[in-house]
Structure 1
Amino acid sequence: MINFFYGLPFDKRSWDLLITFGDELENLYWQTINIHWFNKDDCEKICVKLLASNRPYAALNLLVSLYDDEITQLLPSILLVDILEKAASVDPYTEKSLPDTNRNNYYIEEIFDVLDKADDIEDNKLAFLELIHFPLLVHSIRQPKLLYQQLSKDPIFFVEILKCVYKSEDDRDESVEIDRATLNYAKLGYKLLESWHQVPGLKEDGTVDLEQLRNWVSQARTASQESGRGKIADIKIGHILAYAPKSSDGIWPDIAVREIIEEFGSNEMQEGIANGVFNKRGVVTSAIGEGGIQERQLVETYSSYAMLVGDSYPRTAAMLRSIANRYNSSAHREDIRADLED
């Protein structure tokens, strides 16, 4: 009987007839039908049926044949949200009659682009969708921008992510059972923190607002200390401060960051900044026999910064000198490597 319905036109008349044969046959139909052509006016109904049959990727494949303005005209935003939520919980390779699994990531990005332009979906809902699709978005053109913005605006959210990733320093949550879902959230949270580079208080003109940054750091430190994660919070705060811009005086870091370093006096925060400086440099290529020339240039740069801020910002100057010393050690290692290459 199901083959009979496979052979009928894929339209409302066939579906109305299908209903008369009972739920079992109708469910089997929507769980297995391979869609090649459809009437655009039926798009919403088809997507609802596919979602009810746990086939979000089939719905995604359906939507990519439409232009963005057609999607917004034919489908309510909340249905697009449902598709993305369901897609995060389903393995596309388990779906039946799915024509192309290789382009699923592209299809998901397309739906995010449509939702970005929607005016009836709140940012916190989009941020949640970014979180459940984070492994995809972090490597895509459409970055998880709302998650990054939320981290930079809300220090409590930052601490909640910390709590997902790191155990408390006083073992107060030692008895909490760690299941697969908890591990998955920990992995997501770790990747989120590592890829986040938006300094709290950063303004459109490229400067950092001291009051906004101070309030964010103060609240983040208080909440993290209360949860038993004060030290790791300071390290992670330092890591993000490493991405601060230069100040208007041409010296790095921005004056607002220097003020924070002096005010809070955290060795862990300074360690985080130094590590962040090294990490953001990334993989470095050098010519054969070049040695530590590039590293010595950085030694000179950070030593100069330290000298210029030393009178007003002694802790900052000490941190900058430590960065210069680490690059000096790297320069010596590169010299040795160059000698061995010769």
Structure 2
Amino acid sequence: MDRHSIEEVFKILNSRGTISRARMASLEFLYLEVFRFDTGRIPNLEAEVNDNPSLFCEAIRMAYRGKNDPKDLEPTDEQKTAARNANTFIDALSSVPGVDEHGVIEAEKLKEWIIEARRISEPTGHRAMLDYQIGEILAHAPLGEDGSWPCEPVREAVNDLYSVEIERGITIGRYNARGATWRGEGGAQERELADQYEGWAQACEFDHPRMAKILREMVRKYIAEAEWQDNEAMIRRRMRY
């Protein structure tokens, strides 16, 4: 079947509700390449991860070496295939964990999920990569009730469970989520984004200073890119004459 037909089949199966969530999650996993870059298209698989952080930890264990694993040991073909599949699975996830039965992110549930995932990943030497990938997922968080990003439960979880790896995952995840853009000359777009992130940082800095720190790192990134774009525009103008 083509991509559109596969998507339609999944819509029908999900709407009927006659197949268990676990079975639907298995089907979504089989067709991950179809949904890899479409956020919100693997609801059953993401619900399973929400209820069971060990699934996420197992994917990270298969996809990446642990800090204590021998670096000179060549993986088998089977291990390489498993690593590719695990990476596809990790890349496809976009829903923030800690969701209750009504689909609402709860700060305590999110923190419990992260703590449990860390407990599982620590003995295998995958804690740093786990935190980074958690940051990438948190980069998909919705706006908060006050209109600032991220939503309040994510601000609280990040502030209480902060790590450098989570910060790196969030900043890279947010930066990459911007995607391709049409632009005029210079860095005006980046300055607008820097202003937006600064506004969000100000909304967070009193109650969630660690989250504000991450947002200001985004401000620095966009200001640096704006300056680079300004220099490129100046060079192009000079080359015309």
Scaled to the shorter chain, the TM-score interval is 0.7 to 0.9
1:243: which partner in 2? 140
1:341: which partner in 2? 236
Residues 1:135 and 1:338: Cα distance change in structure 2 (over 3 Å) = same
Contact 1:207 1:254 in 2 (8 A): no
Whether 1:151 and 2:49 are equivalent positions in the alignment is yes
> TM-score, normalization: structure 2?
0.85
Contact 1:206 1:245 in 2 (8 A): no
Work out which structure has the larger RCO, using CA pairs closer than 8 Å and 6 or more positions apart in sequence. 2
- Cα distance between partner residues in 2 of 1:206 and 1:338: 46
| Cα distance, 1:234 vs structure 2 | 0.3
- Cα distance between partner residues in 2 of 1:141 and 1:303: 26
Contact 2:132 2:167 in 1 (8 A): yes
| Cα distance, 1:119 vs structure 2 | 5.2
Q: SS in structure 1 opposite 2:122?
A: helix
2:131: which partner in 1? 234
Mean CA deviation greater in 108-117 or 253-262: 108-117
| Cα distance, 1:167 vs structure 2 | 1.1
| Cα distance, 1:122 vs structure 2 | 2.3
2:219 counterpart letter in structure 1: A
- Cα distance between partner residues in 1 of 2:197 and 2:206: 15
- Cα distance between partner residues in 1 of 2:28 and 2:103: 26
Equivalent residue runs for 1:254-273 within 5 Å: 254-273=151-170
1:133: which partner in 2? 31
Q: Tell which structure's C-alpha radius of gyration is larger.
A: 1
What are structure 2's unaligned runs of at least 5 residues? none
- Cα distance between partner residues in 2 of 1:132 and 1:230: 27
Q: SS in structure 2 opposite 1:239?
A: helix
Contact 1:135 1:188 in 2 (8 A): no
Contact 1:305 1:320 in 2 (8 A): yes
Whether 1:252 and 2:149 are equivalent positions in the alignment is yes
Mean CA deviation greater in 199-208 or 310-319: 199-208
Mean CA deviation greater in 117-126 or 271-280: 117-126
Contact 2:40 2:95 in 1 (8 A): no
- Cα distance between partner residues in 2 of 1:276 and 1:118: 34
- Cα distance between partner residues in 1 of 2:223 and 2:52: 37
- Cα distance between partner residues in 1 of 2:206 and 2:212: 8
Equivalent residue runs for 1:1-342 within 5 Å: 103=1, 108-109=6-7, 111-113=9-11, 115-116=13-14, 121-138=19-36, 143-171=41-69, 177-179=75-77, 181-202=78-99, 208-287=105-184, 289=185, 291-342=186-237
Residues 1:110 and 1:250: Cα distance change in structure 2 (over 3 Å) = closer
Residues 1:123 and 1:300: Cα distance change in structure 2 (over 3 Å) = same
Residue-pair matches, total: 237
Residues 1:244 and 1:142: Cα distance change in structure 2 (over 3 Å) = closer
- Cα distance between partner residues in 1 of 2:210 and 2:40: 38
Percentage of pairs with the same residue: 29
What are structure 1's unaligned runs of at least 5 residues? 1-102
Residues 1:123 and 1:303: Cα distance change in structure 2 (over 3 Å) = same
| Cα distance, 1:173 vs structure 2 | 9.2
- Cα distance between partner residues in 2 of 1:121 and 1:266: 39
| Cα distance, 1:208 vs structure 2 | 2.6
Residues 1:136 and 1:201: Cα distance change in structure 2 (over 3 Å) = same
- Cα distance between partner residues in 1 of 2:171 and 2:123: 26
